[in-house]
Amino acid sequence: MPASVIRLVRFAGRLLLASAAVAGLVVIFLALIVLTDGAGSGLAAWLTTLGVATVAALWRGRRGTWPARLAPFVPVVVAAALTASVCLPTVPTTRRYPPALPFAAAQHWSLATGSRVAVYHYPPANDGARHPIPFVYLNGGPVRGISVLDHRFLQLLAQQGYDVYTYEQAGGGRSDLLPMEQYTISRSVRDLAAFVDRLDKGRVDILGFSSGAVVLTRALADPRVAAHLHRAIIAEPGPMDGPTADITGHNGRPSARGLAPAMTGPRSTHVPRYAAAFGLMRLGLLTPDTGLVGQAEGDNAFTAADLGSDTASGYCARDAHRIPTEDTPQNFSFSTAASIRIQQTVKDAPSIARQLRRSRTPAMLMIAECSSQVRQWEIAVLANDPAIQRTQYLPGVGHHMWNGLDDNNDRAAAVITAFLQDKPAPLPNYPTRGEIPVFLRDRK
């Protein structure tokens, strides 16, 4: 074998060993991140990894010549540089709130619970009939700013004579952050009750969407909170408690997940620090209050593009190539850590079915044809709340039912206003409680 080939094989072998050493050190670093819960912005794991790697390099090169003794340090230096990027913030570590919306100035209300939330008010239009009961909207997230699409839908309801109020739940959008341990589903319900008290306009009609529908469902199961609610609209709810969260099942008709073009724009998950933090949190390997990335920094870093296919899952497959822009980059806000924390408290919560069966607040359930929610989560609400007077199955829409496409906003508004005014529903009452088994069997 020619000497040049032998040298090439030896070089390739050394390069392979060095690459394996770098990969091994990165794995050790990530394992230490998990074990230390990211203590000190990851520096505890980084210094430990660097110390162990340095000792190993010294031991390996202890008998060689000086140039040979330095060779084992090459993988150490490369791994140190790679892993250091996980420890260095690239966005501000104090919360940078979204700028004011050009069409709706946020007020900030301090609630009796200690939360300070951003509140938006759309007064009823001057012309036409006005509805005397205030209307409150609870957005999804759980800890997410209210999107521009949602604001436009609320403006549509105000144009139809409704006195519309909404607030970004604690930690979301322009609302103040909470200590991480205070993000719980029960705190969200208490905040809702405190908001209605602070509004001081008597009982309210309320629309809860997605995780906001979970807050509303749990509020209906609490007589002290439900006493302040006039009518309730539960739209596309997630699991209402731990036993419901454990239910496996199917979604609605196919969504645009996997079909829509990839979202464009900057992604925090392309930065090693946030890719590691958010990825490990989603896997349950880091706690929401990890020392790796603080809550404020994580909120500042996360972008709409980071949601990836989650946005597409809110639309029907047929709309995959015309999904609207839900929000502006300036208005978008999502807290991964706080959302995970609240979702975990739902999973840990005992059943509320018995309390919900005592609900007397007139309610309506809205479900979408192409829903990305597990159907059994939605049907659990229908099965256990005897005060649900009608169910509206909206054809041609996904999880985000009012999305600005075609006449979807008008159709959703017609369903909502008909119920609030106790008028005949524009769609069949479907499924009824008696139709639940067939509805699930047909995988609607």
Averaged over 134-158, what is the pLDDT? 96
Q: What is residue 316's DSSP assignment?
A: B
Residues 146, 182 within the same domain: yes
Residue 64 pLDDT: 59
Q: What is the mean pLDDT of the chain?
A: 92
What pLDDT digit, counting tens, does each position of 285-307 carry?
999 999 999 999 999 999 999 99
Query: Is 169 inside a domain boundary?
Result: yes
What tokens were used for 243?
């036993």
pLDDT category of residue 156 using cuts at 50, 70 and 90: very high
pLDDT at 443: 85
* Both structure tokens of 132: 């005397």
Give residue 193's pLDDT. 98
Co-location of 185 and 76 in the same domain: no
| The Cα angle at residue 127 between residues 123 and 128, in degrees rounded to 5 | 100
Residue with tokens 């069966």: 357
**Could you tell me if residue 226 is inside a domain?**
yes
- Together in a domain, 252 and 201: yes
Average pLDDT for 177-201: 97
Confidence tier at 11 by pLDDT (50, 70, 90): low
Is pLDDT above 60 for 10? Answer: no
Report how far residue 409's alpha carbon sits from residue 416's, in angstroms, rounded to the nearest whole number. Answer: 11
Task: Verify that 353 and 249 share a domain, yes or no.
Answer: yes
CATH number of the structural domain spanning residue 388 = 3.40.50.1820
Claim to verify: residue 41 and residue 134 sit in the same structural domain: no
Q: With respect to residue 94, please indicate whether it lies within any of the assigned structural domains.
A: no
Higher pLDDT, 130 or 211: 211
Residues 149 and 253 in one domain: yes
Q: Find the range with the poorest average confidence among 119-128, 131-140, 345-354.
A: 119-128
What's the total number of domains in the chain? 2
429 and 350: one domain?
yes
Using 50, 70 and 90 to split pLDDT, how confident is the model at 120? very high
Of the three residues 25, 52, 84, the one that is the final residue of a domain is: 84
Are both 313 and 168 inside the same structural domain?
A: yes
pLDDT at 298: 96
The answer on pLDDT for 134 being more than 80 is yes
Question: Once rounded to an integer, what is the mean pLDDT over residues 51-55?
Answer: 85
Q: Is residue 362 part of a domain?
A: yes
Q: What is the DSSP letter of 431?
A: S
**Mean pLDDT, to the nearest integer, of 404-413?**
97
Task: Please count the residues of the chain.
Answer: 444
Burial category of 133 from C-beta neighbours within 10 Å (exposed 0-12, middle 13-18, buried 19 and up): middle
Torsion (CA) 76, 82, 85, 86 in degrees, nearest 10: -90
Where do we find the tokens 């807290």? 335
pTM above 0.85, yes or no: yes
pLDDT digits 0-9 by tens, 55-103: 877 777 666 555 656 667 787 788 889 999 999 999 999 999 999 999 9
pLDDT digits (tens, 9 = 90+) for 16-26: 766 777 888 88
Q: Which residue has the tokens 């009609």?
A: 205
Q: Is residue 273 in some structural domain?
A: no
Taking a C-beta distance cutoff of 8 angstroms, is the pair 184, 342 a contact? yes
Tell whether 182 is covered by a domain: yes
Instruction: Please check the confidence at residue 355 and state whether its pLDDT lies above 90.
Output: yes
CB 17 within 8 A of CB 74: no
**76 and 115 co-located in one domain:** no
Domain extent at residue 42: 3-84
Q: Are 376 and 242 in contact (CB under 8 A)?
A: no
pLDDT at 162: 96
CB 158, CB 128: distance < 8 Å: no
Q: What is the pLDDT of residues 39-51, one digit of tens each?
A: 999 999 999 998 8
pLDDT reported for residue 212: 98
Same domain membership, residue 158 and residue 57: no
Q: Among the three residues 69, 84, 99, which one is the final residue of a domain in this structure?
A: 84
pLDDT of residue 5 exceeding 70: no
153 occurs within a structural domain: yes
The answer on pLDDT for 7 being more than 70 is no
Domain edge (last residue) among 41, 69, 84: 84
Question: What is the reported pLDDT for 61?
Answer: 62
| Residues above pLDDT 90, as percent of the chain | 81
Whether residue 235 contacts residue 413, with contact meaning beta carbons closer than 8 Å, is answered with no
Confidence of residue 188 (pLDDT cuts 50, 70, 90): very high
CA-based nearest residue to 388, from 233, 227, 252: 233
pLDDT value at residue 14: 57
Q: What tokens were used for 300?
A: 């500042």
Domain identity same for 364 and 399: yes
Is the pLDDT at 354 greater than 60, yes or no? yes
Say which DSSP state 222 is in: -
Residue spans of beta strands (DSSP E) within 164-255: 164-168, 204-209, 229-235
Q: Is residue 296 part of a domain?
A: no
Say whether both 58 and 178 belong to one domain: no
What integer is the mean pLDDT of 250-261? 93
Q: Which residues pair with 366 in a beta bridge?
A: 235, 392
d(CA 423, CA 398): 25
Q: With CA atoms as reference, report the closest residue to 135 among 75, 48, 201, 181.
A: 201
Q: What percent of the chain has pLDDT over 70?
A: 93
